[in-house]
Amino acid sequence: MRHHLILRVVSKLLIPFILLYALYVQFHGDFGPGGGFQAGVIFAAAFVLYALIFGVQAARKAFPDSWLAILIPLGVLIFAGTGIASLLLGGTFLDYDVLASTPTGGQHLGILVVEFGVGVTVTAVMIAIFFAYAGRTHEIQDDDW
Amino acid sequence: MMAVDHLPVLQVVGPLIAAPICSLLRARNLAWFFTLLVSIGAFLCSIYLLNTVLETGPISYAIGGWAAPLGIEYRVDASNGFVLLIISGISSVVLPFAKRSFELEVPENQHSLLYTAYILCLTGLLGITATADAFNVFVFLEVSSLSTYVLVAAGAKQDRRALTAAYNYLILGTIGATFFVIGVGLLYMATGTLNMADLAARVGPIGGSRTLDVGFAFIVIGLALKLALFPLHNWLPNAYTYAPSAVTAFLAATATKAAVYLLLRFCFTIFGSGSGFLAPMVGLVCMPLALAGMFAGSLAAIYQYNLKRMLAYSSVAQIGYMVLGISFLSITGLMATTLHLFNHALMKGALFMALGCVFFRVRSVNINDLSGIARQMPWTMAAFVISGLSLIGVPLTVGFISKWYLISAALEQEAWVLIALILASSLLAVIYIWRVIEVAYLKDPIPGRTVTEAPLSMLLPTWALVIANIYFGVDASLTTRVARMAAEGLVGMAQ
């Protein structure tokens, strides 16, 4: 891809805006359309584009595999941890009402944190799936069967 | 709220949170120990829940503070409390066994992720059982299924065919789950609700709606695939044969049980009243297939050389007994099914663990490699024989209790042919268990092979289940009491 100058320049221009748009979809999700799933996929799309233009090796350097192994479980923990927090604060599991001083504030805060957890996991899983396929080698030999 | 009030949800959420933490633990012994702690915690939780249910009646829990028909409700009564106990109990017994077994059969760098998949599978099975929301069931069905595919594929170090077995299971399991969710969608379309109690209340007045009937048919077929009812059992023999030994023991004793429980729930709690579709569906479809499965499974088991595959086919036959119990549509029949859920978990768990011990020493479970093995591994083979007798249904074992109630249910309806068929298929079990006994006890050991008894960490869990086989066979008062409450609860909610 080294000679595709236009692709490289345009994607370098686009990637920051894709990331920013993902963050908008993530954090505006409780007022408008959006949320963790959509934002996570958009965020990951930026890395997929980067990998397509600059190569999987460069993308792996930008987003190391060790981060993936931590971020995937971390998002789930943020989600479930919110549930446990509301449980410890006297509500039932995932009862956001108790998270802040007013029930409405609690619902806002709860959905924001939970969706952030979803976003983290979805981003990391999407990138992990892409890396797994893009980095695949022909390891299955004929005599393995 | 008191801490114990949260137990219905903690039963499921505890393992759910533990799974991502386990994936972060790199040391395999630590991951194993952590998994064991989680499993024992879930087991204690299920004991407490079942005990409370038996004393004070069903427990309901509203997730997120949204009350029942709108929000997701977790509801524990005698029938699912019993299944929770089976799943978490078997998991806690299999895990001490699993450590040495995985060390041999699975590459070292996969251990912490394998234990993560194990916890996720446990989460899914517990979630399927605890929830009272039809769509939530589907979510946990997927959690348990996806992790099961990973667990089965982990057998690839021993035999690459584990990968195709897991892939085959993935395709068929996905079809089953899709049928299930289509059925739930049709129910939602007809009733506008997903809560099981609410569904039950609304299905009744609607009566003979075609949408409901089609939805019910989709759900039954989807679940029949998941619980491996003949002839939808095709994924099961390969998956059980090529999965690591400990995984097979865990899955054989729990995964199909959760699906049978769901079938009970949908047939009786939700469709028990109202739909005139239940009786023909169960009588014309489930009963013939159950009978066919009892014979096809047992006959296929007789001709297997790989003993894990033999027991897998035997599971197909045993699932036939469970579905046969359902198809009597009577309290005694439901008791037989519920008892067999528990009893079959004990016997199949013990049998597969005994085979796991054999594999650990001999590196094969082919019947030709086991001649005279009983002289070298007396305790392992004794465990196999006792749980084999239980599988056949010999008195003083749990197998007898199951068969007794199954035959009682047939007697109530004076179905003499069915009684003859149940006894005949038990005789087939004698044949395939005897084949193993003959080779292991009566033939001479293979010359020049020195095999010693399996390590204690594998023998003790195996024998724990063997002793449970005898204990609950001699004194079945506890299990029959719970089974009666469960059966009456399932039918009672329908009225």
pLDDT digits (tens, 9 = 90+) for A94-124: 888 888 888 888 888 888 999 999 999 999 9
pLDDT for res B271 = 81
- Beta-carbon separation of A73 and B20 below 8 A: yes
CA B370 to chain centre: 28
Burial of residue B185, with CB atoms counted within 10 A of its CB: 0-12 exposed, 13-18 middle, 19 or more buried: middle
Among B63, B146, B150, the residue to mutate for chain A (most A Cβ within 10 A): B63
Å between A62 CA and nearest CA of chain B: 21
pLDDT for res A142 = 59
Among B5, B11, B13, the residue to mutate for chain A (most A Cβ within 10 A): B13
Q: Would an 8 Å CB–CB cutoff place B17 in contact with chain A?
A: yes
- Beta-carbon separation of A92 and B1 below 8 A: yes
Q: Would an 8 Å CB–CB cutoff place B63 in contact with chain A?
A: yes
Mean predicted lDDT score pLDDT of chain A: 87
In a domain, B292, yes or no: yes
Q: Would an 8 Å CB–CB cutoff place B1 in contact with chain A?
A: yes
- Beta-carbon separation of B9 and A93 below 8 A: yes
- The predicted model gives B399-416 an average pLDDT of 90
Residue A143 has pLDDT above 70, yes or no: no
In a domain, A142, yes or no: no
Q: Would an 8 Å CB–CB cutoff place B13 in contact with chain A?
A: yes
- Beta-carbon separation of A97 and B63 below 8 A: no
pLDDT for res B495 = 41
- Beta-carbon separation of B17 and A93 below 8 A: no
The sign of the dihedral angle between the CA atoms of B451, B455, B456, B457 is negative
- Beta-carbon separation of B20 and A145 below 8 A: no
pLDDT for res B415 = 84
* Of A70, A74, A94, Cβ closest to residue B63: A94
pLDDT for res B213 = 85
Which residues, 6 or more positions from B81, have their beta carbon under 8 angstroms from its beta carbon? Answer: B46, B49, B50, B53, B54, B482
Contact between B188 and B231 (Cβ < 8 Å): no
Which residues, 6 or more positions from A5, have their beta carbon under 8 angstroms from its beta carbon? Answer: none
pLDDT for res B275 = 55
Contact between B360 and B439 (Cβ < 8 Å): no
| Residue range of the domain that includes B386 | 287-495
Residues of A in contact with B63 (CB under 8 A): 92-94
Residue B369 has pLDDT above 90, yes or no: no
- Find, in chain A, the residue whose alpha carbon is nearest to that of B26: A69
Q: Could you tell me which of A34, A35, A111, A126 has the C-alpha nearest to residue A78? A: A111
pLDDT for res B463 = 93
User: Total structural domains in chain B?
Assistant: 1
pLDDT (tens digit per residue) in B238-256? 999 999 999 999 999 999 9
- Beta-carbon separation of B63 and A80 below 8 A: no
Per cent of chain B over pLDDT 90 is 52
In a domain, A105, yes or no: yes
Tokens encoding A67: 């981060």
* Of A72, A92, A97, Cβ closest to residue B63: A92
- The predicted model gives B268-285 an average pLDDT of 75
- Beta-carbon separation of B6 and A90 below 8 A: no
Residue B128 has pLDDT above 90, yes or no: yes
Q: Would an 8 Å CB–CB cutoff place A94 in contact with chain B?
A: yes
User: Residue B162 to residues A2, B166, B239, B240, B308: CA-CA distances in angstroms?
Assistant: 42, 6, 7, 9, 13
pLDDT for res B306 = 92
Q: Cα separation of B382 and B390, whole Å?
A: 12
ipTM comes to 0.86
pLDDT for res A71 = 92
Residues of B in contact with A90 (CB under 8 A): 1
Residues of B in contact with A65 (CB under 8 A): none
pLDDT for res B372 = 85
In a domain, A49, yes or no: yes
| Residue range of the domain that includes A107 | 5-136
Per cent of chain A over pLDDT 90 is 45
* Of B6, B20, B61, Cβ closest to residue A76: B20
Q: Could you tell me which of A19, A21, A29, A18 has the C-alpha nearest to residue A113? A: A29
Instruction: For residue B164, name the pLDDT band (cuts at 50, 70, 90).
Output: very high
pLDDT for res B494 = 43
B328 vs A135, more confident: B328
Residue A137 has pLDDT above 70, yes or no: no
Q: Could you tell me which of B307, B62, B219, B354 has the C-alpha nearest to residue A86? A: B62
User: Residue A14 to residues A5, A50, B149, B331: CA-CA distances in angstroms?
Assistant: 14, 10, 39, 66
Beta bridge partners of B366: B306
Å between B126 CA and nearest CA of chain A: 16
In a domain, A141, yes or no: no
Q: Would an 8 Å CB–CB cutoff place A83 in contact with chain B?
A: yes
pLDDT for res B1 = 59
Residue B258 has pLDDT above 50, yes or no: yes
Residue B364 has pLDDT above 50, yes or no: yes
Q: Cα separation of B402 and B341, whole Å?
A: 9
Instruction: For residue B453, name the pLDDT band (cuts at 50, 70, 90).
Output: confident
Residue A139 has pLDDT above 70, yes or no: no
In a domain, A117, yes or no: yes
- The predicted model gives B96-103 an average pLDDT of 90
- Find, in chain B, the residue whose alpha carbon is nearest to that of A141: B160
Residue corresponding to tokens 């249904």: B393
Q: Would an 8 Å CB–CB cutoff place A30 in contact with chain B?
A: no
Which residues, 6 or more positions from B459, have their beta carbon under 8 angstroms from its beta carbon? Answer: B357, B379, B380, B383, B453
- Beta-carbon separation of B64 and A92 below 8 A: yes
pLDDT for res B176 = 94
Q: Would an 8 Å CB–CB cutoff place A95 in contact with chain B?
A: yes
pLDDT for res B136 = 92
In a domain, B459, yes or no: yes
Angle, helices A36-54 vs A103-134, to 10°: value is: 30
pLDDT for res A21 = 94
In a domain, B485, yes or no: yes
In a domain, B94, yes or no: no
Q: By three-state DSSP, how is residue A101 classified? A: coil
Q: How many A/B residue pairs have CB atoms within 8 Å?
A: 53
Q: Cα separation of B323 and B277, whole Å?
A: 17
Contact between B238 and B166 (Cβ < 8 Å): no
pLDDT for res B371 = 86
B324 vs A2, more confident: B324
A97 secondary structure, DSSP code: G
In a domain, B392, yes or no: yes
Å between B454 CA and nearest CA of chain A: 31
Q: Model pTM?
A: 0.92
Residue corresponding to tokens 């409780």: A30
pLDDT for res B198 = 87
pLDDT (tens digit per residue) in B307-317? 999 999 999 99
Per cent of chain B over pLDDT 70 is 97
Contact between B274 and B202 (Cβ < 8 Å): no
User: Total structural domains in chain A?
Assistant: 1
Q: Cα separation of B356 and B462, whole Å?
A: 9
pLDDT for res A140 = 61
**B165-169 contacts: CB < 8 A, separation 24 or more?**
B165/B235, B165/B238, B165/B239, B165/B241, B165/B242, B165/B243, B166/B239, B166/B242, B168/B234, B168/B235, B168/B238, B168/B239, B169/B235, B169/B238, B169/B239
Å between B310 CA and nearest CA of chain A: 23
pLDDT for res A138 = 60
Give residue B247's identity as a one-letter amino acid code. V
Residue B326 has pLDDT above 80, yes or no: yes
A142 vs A54, more confident: A54
Q: Cα separation of B178 and B181, whole Å?
A: 5
Q: Could you tell me which of B152, B145, B150, B149 has the C-alpha nearest to residue B180? A: B145
Instruction: For residue B57, name the pLDDT band (cuts at 50, 70, 90).
Output: confident
CA B492 to chain centre: 24
Mean predicted lDDT score pLDDT of chain B: 89
